A and B are shown apart, each in its own frame.
Chain A
């Protein structure tokens, strides 16, 4: 919402300075976004008189002007504008002057060998409008030598406030003045409602044919004014409009724009001679039709759109935009003035759908004061009569102006309850009264009636806001919340704790935590098991970000490739974040996933004098996954390793870590070479995904005690075994069999060598383990050790078919 200081002062009698007004506006909730005084930039430009204009000797389209600046000798200026001519009063910039519209500082120039001592300015060069068809052409009586801003009334700060959507009343300068007056910055100027003397009958009618949606247009006020003389507006009105960036059209149209900003009352004017028959407010039916708006754009009006139509067709988009066909031109002699009420939701919906952004829509969708409808029509009519003459008919209203009576029982203590502020009863009442509320009653609870221009005020808390924003939020006193617990309690959930631990565990393994987009490209999503319709955005910001990610890996893989493209090939990245299996709450899962690319191993990447790093392999990813699981409370000795990882992993170099066949805690492995190729990503890449919420919650313990440590003084004994097994026998199976051979005595089994090749039969491999025997009661005799060894060999043979290698 834009206005100028002088326009504000039409409504506010104040001695406050500009700075005081700006500060107050912001502090009462009308946040000042920009203040700009055109005079600050344009003060140097002065009005000049073109004494002579001769063709340029060396250029057809240029002229050489002799310009009287009001002081000293006339200046020679080269000018290319088609409207430059002898006798013209225009605006001159001299060498050294900054031209905002061109972002240059003028200098003495030489154009095709003719010297030029300045520039005749266009409106666009001064950023007054987009008009660059010619230079500024002022009336003959414009005073030579006077600063142009002074003459044009531009020495007037333009203030733009960011209006929150709840304040339709401040989409009018009058409303802003009311707020400032209530906040103690002067008094609101009241204007008397004009008395319009009616002449003649209305030869037509406005009909509301709204079917089952009468709320779309509760009331439509209108009047005909005959025999008007339209044309360009007087200077004061043109200046008002141009000052806030509106383009003057003609008096009738300018009046509607003026009323829109001055009173927040959008109006429309129809050229009565272009209207055929009655005007009907109705929802468009049947085929969609083209509608040419006054904004020079075409709109497609579909069935159901609320329009104003006559025998010729659609004449106006209700509440938003008038039509070109029945618009007012300089020749308009008879005018219909419309002051209607439209349903805010209808206007918002239709405006959004059609893409109309008009000042009328802006106000109607926030809510225009219904009570001002008739008065607004009269004020506009009086302006027409004052500037265009004519004979007005009676005003008529189709439908009925709603008179909502909204009374709030307001306990005055509510202010203290919600704000903690002590505001006296008198101040509360006075503040509300100045804002236009009616307060009645004495005692603890008063009755407050809301004014017709405040549809946003519904209840007690709204009134509290009105009071505190005017009294001043700077008066709020800080108070500490009382402590609930003398010592802070544990506040994190198991999932939150696990995610934190997973993060720090992975970072201690040399990995960098990334945060990547929750949405990825469709082909990526599909490869990783997603891409379903329920997780596809209807309005993605780009096709690369259209699907909710089923896995963190595509985002991390793309990130690794971006880094490789920048020259960092050996990267270890991880992310702890959400994945989406479906659009339900349960479909969202928390995952700690990561990847290692190139030679980014735990112990370091690339070459080193202590040993070069090899390419990452599946066991690097397995180690990361197990580290996360250990950190979040699932040590690796409880895990079962399966080989059924998803298809985006290498089928022979991947696995799943589970607690039982159904509870998958993690996947790890090399990324499938085909996936790398499909996504145009270079490997090698190994990756893991840990489902951090999958491990069961630990059981509640009765005590925090770790119990006694049972350590014996007896020396453990180690024995080595090498078994020949079929190559497809999982090592884990053999280790379990060995360990289970004597649970009391065997304290640990360690796989220390794997060998295939010479000395081992084809199709088999040798697995060498060392077994630690921990005696508990007495030192082991040779016979004891022999007996356990025998058990181990038998147990392994039974489980794996393995034989002791001799």
Chain B
């Protein structure tokens, strides 16, 4: 029996001494393999007397099982150690910076974003979005809008003209989006609620005037829309757009050929700082022009001014963007300076909605 004890002690020492899974396998083969030390002992059982076998059988089986368990236990320890070593060797520096996600780098131009904001507001009030061409006829840009031929009011618009054609027609770049009012009234039946965003052009250039700019006009035609509705509509629109609790408007009489009565609208604001703050303060700032659609304009579109009535307004989209988002130079809008576009532009997934807040 003592040699079994010796054998077990030797094998145990070998298991404990195996530093790798391969070495452990060698130990296993040496002990439990076909010609292993334990297996060899097992083979001797057949030649033993029944008495001897009765004693040695359980002892050998016990030895075999204990060796197998010890090997498995050692295997577990070695595997764990190997994994730890691998993990330690696989370590990387996770502070290494990555390239930016393209969607985080791209930007939407403020003019587009503001048009989306305006569309969200007015769509909720039942307004559709109408458009028309930039190259317009004199008829639609002026005459149908009650600018009489040769009237000084035409001079107020520094118009870009194209060369006169053989048939005497002279096209122009629209000076306002109002031709779209005519197109809408001539092609659709009231009740009408439309906004008309778009590019407009005047020969003018300084810090606050560029030869191309963006305008948003609004038009409501039905049988009952009056100046009270106009005031209410503009108040709600400006409140929603500037995302303030309150706006105070001041209407002043003015003149536009296509509206009667005509008004300019000032918004109360605070101009004491570098940026204008709408919704607070005691200053006034002119923000838009508006009025009741002139009876002649309605007639020019085949509508009876005694039956139909309505209002229209026009406001600068670029100017709205400047007031809300703090740009101070209109010319930069059209310069495509990537620093400006990244600073003032909007992330592509920040789609303005009323339910999520226009600019939150």
Q: Which of A510, A517, A563, A577 contacts B103 (CB 8 A)?
A: A510
Distance in Å from the Cβ of B195 to the closest Cβ of chain A?
Answer: 9
A545 at the interface (CB under 8 A from B): yes
Q: Which of A348, A469, A555 contacts B261 (CB 8 A)?
A: A469
Q: A419 to B106, Cβ gap below 8 A?
A: no
Q: Which of B99, B160, B225, B228 contacts A478 (CB 8 A)?
A: B228
Cβ of A588: which chain B residues have Cβ within 8 Å of it?
A: 133-135
Q: How many angstroms between the C-alpha atoms of A236 and B283 in the bound complex?
A: 38
Cβ of B253: which chain A residues have Cβ within 8 Å of it?
A: 27-29, 465, 468-469, 473
A509 at the interface (CB under 8 A from B): yes
Q: Which of A481, A507, A566, A577 contacts B125 (CB 8 A)?
A: A481
Cβ of A538: which chain B residues have Cβ within 8 Å of it?
A: 160-164, 170
Q: B336 to A488, Cβ gap below 8 A?
A: no
Asked if A417 meets B255 with Cβ closer than 8 Å, knowing A165-B153, A349-B150, the reply is no
Cβ of A495: which chain B residues have Cβ within 8 Å of it?
A: 131
Q: B261 to A464, Cβ gap below 8 A?
A: yes
Which residues of chain A from 512 to 560 have any CB-CB distance to chain B below 8 Å in the complex? Answer: 512-519, 533-541, 545, 548, 555-556, 559
Cβ of B227: which chain A residues have Cβ within 8 Å of it?
A: 418-421, 468, 476
Cβ of B119: which chain A residues have Cβ within 8 Å of it?
A: 491-492
Q: B348 to A417, Cβ gap below 8 A?
A: no
A110 at the interface (CB under 8 A from B): no
B96 at the interface (CB under 8 A from A): yes
A779 at the interface (CB under 8 A from B): no
Q: How many angstroms between the C-alpha atoms of A31 and B284 in the bound complex?
A: 13
A585 at the interface (CB under 8 A from B): yes
- Residue from the set A27, A352, A479, A500 with the largest chain B CB neighbour count within 10 Å: A479
Question: Which of the segments B5-13, B30-38, B74-82, B198-206 contacts the partner chain?
Answer: B198-206
B270 at the interface (CB under 8 A from A): no
A460 at the interface (CB under 8 A from B): yes
Q: A479 to B199, Cβ gap below 8 A?
A: no
Cβ of A492: which chain B residues have Cβ within 8 Å of it?
A: 119, 123, 129
Q: A485 to B351, Cβ gap below 8 A?
A: no
Q: B348 to A507, Cβ gap below 8 A?
A: yes
Cβ of A366: which chain B residues have Cβ within 8 Å of it?
A: 152
Distance in Å from the Cβ of A533 to the closest Cβ of chain B?
Answer: 6
Q: How many angstroms between the C-alpha atoms of A160 and B105 in the bound complex?
A: 50
A275 at the interface (CB under 8 A from B): no
Distance in Å from the Cβ of B156 to the closest Cβ of chain A?
Answer: 7
Cβ of A608: which chain B residues have Cβ within 8 Å of it?
A: 99
Distance in Å from the Cβ of A303 to the closest Cβ of chain B?
Answer: 19
Question: Which of the segments A42-50, A211-219, A568-576 contacts the partner chain?
Answer: A568-576
With CB as the reference atom, state the residue of chain B lying closest to A566: B337
Q: A536 to B108, Cβ gap below 8 A?
A: no
Distance in Å from the Cβ of B337 to the closest Cβ of chain A?
Answer: 7
Q: B162 to A536, Cβ gap below 8 A?
A: yes
Q: How many angstroms between the C-alpha atoms of A506 and B106 in the bound complex?
A: 8
Asked if A539 meets B203 with Cβ closer than 8 Å, knowing A481-B220, A508-B348, A518-B212, the reply is yes
Cβ of A609: which chain B residues have Cβ within 8 Å of it?
A: 96
Q: How many angstroms between the C-alpha atoms of A135 and B105 in the bound complex?
A: 65
Asked if A510 meets B106 with Cβ closer than 8 Å, knowing A166-B255, A573-B336, the reply is yes
Q: How many angstroms between the C-alpha atoms of A151 and B144 in the bound complex?
A: 55
Q: How many angstroms between the C-alpha atoms of A614 and B338 in the bound complex?
A: 21
Cβ of A473: which chain B residues have Cβ within 8 Å of it?
A: 251-253, 263
B302 at the interface (CB under 8 A from A): no
Q: How many angstroms between the C-alpha atoms of A508 and B220 in the bound complex?
A: 36
Q: A603 to B102, Cβ gap below 8 A?
A: yes
B112 at the interface (CB under 8 A from A): yes
B57 at the interface (CB under 8 A from A): no
B316 at the interface (CB under 8 A from A): no
Q: How many angstroms between the C-alpha atoms of A588 and B144 in the bound complex?
A: 22
A503 at the interface (CB under 8 A from B): yes
Q: How many A-B residue pairs have CB under 8 A?
A: 270
Distance in Å from the Cβ of B315 to the closest Cβ of chain A?
Answer: 17
Cβ of B261: which chain A residues have Cβ within 8 Å of it?
A: 418-419, 461, 464-465, 468-469
A174 at the interface (CB under 8 A from B): no
Asked if A583 meets B171 with Cβ closer than 8 Å, knowing A166-B255, A563-B338, A568-B338, the reply is yes
Which residues of chain B from 336 to 354 have any CB-CB distance to chain A below 8 Å in the complex? Answer: 336-339, 341-342, 345, 347-349, 351
Q: Which of A164, A488, A513, A548 contacts B255 (CB 8 A)?
A: A164
B126 at the interface (CB under 8 A from A): yes
Distance in Å from the Cβ of B6 to the closest Cβ of chain A?
Answer: 58
Which residues of chain A from 375 to 424 have any CB-CB distance to chain B below 8 Å in the complex? Answer: 417-421
A345 at the interface (CB under 8 A from B): yes
Which residues of chain A from 619 to 676 have any CB-CB distance to chain B below 8 Å in the complex? Answer: none
Cβ of A548: which chain B residues have Cβ within 8 Å of it?
A: 134-135
Q: B294 to A478, Cβ gap below 8 A?
A: no
Interface string of A422-455 (1 = CB under 8 A from B): 0000000000000000000000000000000000
Q: B232 to A512, Cβ gap below 8 A?
A: no
Cβ of A483: which chain B residues have Cβ within 8 Å of it?
A: 125-126
Distance in Å from the Cβ of A537 to the closest Cβ of chain B?
Answer: 5
Interface string of A492-512 (1 = CB under 8 A from B): 110110001001111111111
A462 at the interface (CB under 8 A from B): yes
Cβ of B151: which chain A residues have Cβ within 8 Å of it?
A: 165, 345, 348
- Residue from the set B100, B253, B292 with the largest chain A CB neighbour count within 10 Å: B253
A602 at the interface (CB under 8 A from B): yes
A764 at the interface (CB under 8 A from B): no
B155 at the interface (CB under 8 A from A): yes
Q: A491 to B129, Cβ gap below 8 A?
A: yes
Cβ of A508: which chain B residues have Cβ within 8 Å of it?
A: 102-103, 106, 348-349
Cβ of B170: which chain A residues have Cβ within 8 Å of it?
A: 538
Q: How many angstroms between the C-alpha atoms of A577 and B133 in the bound complex?
A: 12
Cβ of B133: which chain A residues have Cβ within 8 Å of it?
A: 585, 588
Distance in Å from the Cβ of A600 to the closest Cβ of chain B?
Answer: 10
Cβ of A515: which chain B residues have Cβ within 8 Å of it?
A: 109, 111-112, 333-334, 336
Distance in Å from the Cβ of A622 to the closest Cβ of chain B?
Answer: 16
A740 at the interface (CB under 8 A from B): no
**5 tightest A-B CB contacts, nearest first:** A29-B253, A420-B228, A510-B102, A507-B348, A164-B255
- 10 A/B residue pairs, CB under 8 Å, sorted by A: A26-B252, A27-B252, A29-B254, A164-B255, A478-B235, A481-B193, A509-B102, A541-B211, A583-B135, A602-B102
Footprint of A on B, CB under 8 Å? 96, 98-100, 102-103, 105-109, 111-112, 116, 119, 123-129, 131-135, 149-153, 155-156, 160-165, 170-171, 173, 191, 193, 199, 201, 203, 205, 211-212, 220, 225-229, 231-233, 235-236, 250-255, 260-264, 292, 294-295, 305, 309, 333-339, 341-342, 345, 347-349, 351
Starting from the known contacts A348-B151, A473-B251, 14 additional A-B residue pairs (CB-CB under 8 Å) come to A29-B253, A417-B226, A418-B309, A419-B226, A421-B227, A476-B227, A481-B233, A488-B123, A488-B126, A492-B123, A517-B211, A519-B211, A539-B203, A548-B134
Footprint of B on A, CB under 8 Å? 26-29, 31, 164-167, 344-345, 348-349, 352, 365-366, 417-421, 459-462, 464-465, 468-469, 473-474, 476-481, 483-485, 488-489, 491-493, 495-496, 500, 503-519, 533-541, 545, 548, 555-556, 559, 562-563, 566, 568, 571-573, 576-578, 580, 583-585, 587-588, 602-604, 608-610
